[in-house]
Structure 1
Amino acid sequence: MMDFGHTTYGHNSAERFYSAVRQAQAETVRQELERSSHVEDTDIERAWSVLVPSGEPSVSKSDLVDRLSSYLPHVDSSAVNHLVGGAGSMSLERLTRMLWQDGQPTLPCNMSEEAWKLLDPHGRGSIGLDTLLRMLTTIEGCEKLDPDDMRVIRNLLDLSTDDYVIAERNWAQLGCWTPMLEEVTPAQRKMLAARASAQAAKAAAAANRRPAGGRRSPAPPAAW
């Protein structure tokens, strides 16, 4: 078999291949991360769907305390009263009015910093890995984390297999999660590469399961 790695043809082919891969990665980065640094209206809707998964149009102050306490153990009725004000309940419409007015976000924010405040409400500068995992498992599709997920999480946060504490600097190196293409951090590139690999594997598995003419398509011989 010709050793393409040591021929001009093979070298040029490899360069074209890697160039195509880089272009595909760049486009993926644009699609995933080229967003405003402001909270968007869709972010508010997603947050509401996590807080109110049953789809209720509004929740009472007491219910809001109970639901927020799953993510923010320090939240109490006084904090919710300050948030809701004189209203007896919180609704998606009211929350949207607070954060999104006249088609524009009310306040800019750094999503990474705000997320860290949720994880470390008392400002200690570090959290246990279990705190992050508990929050991740409340997100749809992340209810169960397998060993591969854990490896990706540790890789992104620069944690060794013996590390169970996340320092604020570990979190900050991830970036704001809403950068332009040229501002993508190495950690975000790792995340996108892992996601792309997982999606490709799922697509290949689905294609292999798809019946052809009423029969399952045979897998190619191992020699291929």
Structure 2
Amino acid sequence: MKLLSVNIGEARPVPYTDQPQGLTGIDKRPADGPLRVAAPGPKGVGASGVAGDAVCDTRHHGGDDQAVYAFAREDLDEWERELGRTLRNGAFGENLTTEGLDVSGALIGERWRIGGAVVLEVTSGRIPCRTFQGHLGVPGWVKRFTRRGRTGAYLRVIEPGEIRAGDGIEIVHRPDHDITTTLEFRATTTERALLPRLLAAGPALHPEALAAARQYVEKYGEGQGL
């Protein structure tokens, strides 16, 4: 398992975002040399956890629990075949393009050591948005990506440091539950009866997903979706 590239984006004006200034950093490109990764601060204040990477809409992106976004090269390759076009590393707005790691099958709370220093923790899947669809220029992309459910993973920074392309990735902790990023995504989008299952992931789960699961249980009880 290894890191193929570390990708960062510049803030650029586009017509397809509802961000107030009309800017987005979704068009991420592989960066040369090592880049520092650190917790950026709480959502709404902090942006990206990767140095030099622009996050323009901090209402919905960035912050400690979405500090880094990872996507598997294998999933990009599958989309390449389906869409009939080349998708370079960073094409889905991911900071980390990985090889040999089942990112969408990662468990919530799973921890990865990248290189010698950095440790990241999986918090949730990625919910597609209008900006993602506009960036790719594929009609109906949000629904299409949602149906596939291979969302990649958001991660928080447990131990900061520097990473670079070619670094090895080691899974240093796997929690004792079966809540994957794909299941978390399904529960918070199209299959809300699964929400009670997310409670098994505990505080490692993205706070918004955890709150949604608790609210669902308060309203409907714990038996739903089990």
Fold shared per TM-score above 0.5 = no
Q: Which structure shows the higher strand fraction?
A: 2
| TM-score, normalising length: structure 1 | 0.25
Q: Which structure shows the higher helix fraction?
A: 1
| TM-score, normalising length: structure 2 | 0.25
Structure with the greater alpha carbon radius of gyration: 1
